[in-house]
Amino acid sequence: MTPLGNTREEFWRRLCAGESGVGPIASFDASDFTTRFAAEVKDFNGEQLIGKKEARRMDAFAQYAFVAAREAIEDAKLPEDAELRKRVGVVLGTGIGGIQTFRTMSDRAHDLGTWARTSPFFIPMLMSNAAPAHISMANDLRGPIFATASACASANDAIATAYNLVANGDCVAMLTGGAEATITPLAMGGFCSMRAMSTRNDDPARACRPFDRERDGFVLAEGSGILLIEEAEHALARGARIYAEVLGYGQSADAYDIVAVDPNGDGVVLALERACASARIEPADVDYINAHGTSTPIGDPAESKAIERAFGEHAYRMGVSSTKSMTGHALGAAGGIEGVATVLSVARDIMPPTINYEFPDPECTLDYVPNVARRAPIRTALSNSFGFGGHNCVIVFGKMRGG
């Protein structure tokens, strides 16, 4: 569920075509803001897709997750077996949760002149764990269900947690990824005040330009990306279609600043090294990295240099692209959306491009798959996510061993 499309195949087709999902904000009047564009989900009607009654009890982030999870379950052909579903859970990342509900309910209380008539659904819609809860209830999933919140690393942390629950035998399968719907006046105002976003209002589609010398900030986005992670033998025994294997992950902290990126990239280096160690691979085994690549002046060179430090000379032999150049930055959902992209890269041997790459930056010296998707063998790929607070999480995906 993304600014590039509301199904997996539409998203993938437009991603590989190098299309931008960024445009002027349509959901509210943004004329007073220094940034007046974002990457919004389009043509989404929650009441039609979910049902009027249920949709009205979900914030937009939960609606996105609900519909994306349904597609994942249907694609995986998860058996409708009650005993099996006792061992299937849901862990999703979200950086902020139900901020659209917060806005709606606050405006309503202001108009009424009282807080006493706050909706009884306010808290259940606001809470970050609402998305996994609704998915669990709708699909009779009785394994562990919860949310992870680590800013823009939330979804990758969720995937790592889901991987552990399956690998340790606690669950047969887990739905995981992330969801976010923060394109609201309050969130836009906050990010504008931080001067964190691009102000290229005259050309929104070209505003997000990771690793390009002319980048001037990130582009706010929304959406959801959901994966079904299943124990390998169980998936093979039931004939499930397997796109890729989760090989491991690496997590670390910058221990540097609540919002600023450590320009030395020490925490990112640790996460990359730990990811390779967890997956039991050598740096030379990695063919592609779906970078965090947010298009910020400090963040992009810090990530690029960290990759150089972690991979040595091999860093210059692999593709490193940022799909945020097309989707924008969906905060807590980013790792889920990029996880889907990375898995499809492994399954289909295609590296999506970094679009809007025009002016090489001397501080960013890797192969960023500029502007055009590339066909290349991909046995192993990484998906990077880093968040405010210094959270770093890298997921390792690979072709199914023996496949």
Give domain limits for the chain: 8-398
pLDDT recorded at residue 352: 98
Of 16, 152, 192, 276, the active-site residue reads 152
Question: Does the annotation mark 152 as catalytic?
Answer: yes
Question: Does the annotation mark 292 as catalytic?
Answer: yes
pLDDT recorded at residue 402: 63
Question: E-assigned strands of 218-297?
Answer: 223-230, 245-253, 288-290
Q: End-to-end CA distance of the chain, in Å?
A: 29
pLDDT < 70 regions, the chain:
402-403
Of 192, 208, 276, 292, the active-site residue reads 292
pLDDT recorded at residue 401: 81
Of 16, 171, 208, 329, the active-site residue reads 329
How many other CB atoms are there within 10 angstroms of residue 195's CB atom?
11
Rounded to whole angstroms, the Cα distance separating 48 from 223 reads 17
Question: Does the annotation mark 16 as catalytic?
Answer: no
Q: Let me know: does 334 contact 341? Beta carbons within 8 Å.
A: no
pTM summary value = 0.98
**225-155-179 Cα angle (round to 5):** 50
Please provide the CATH number assigned to the domain covering 8-398: 3.40.47.10
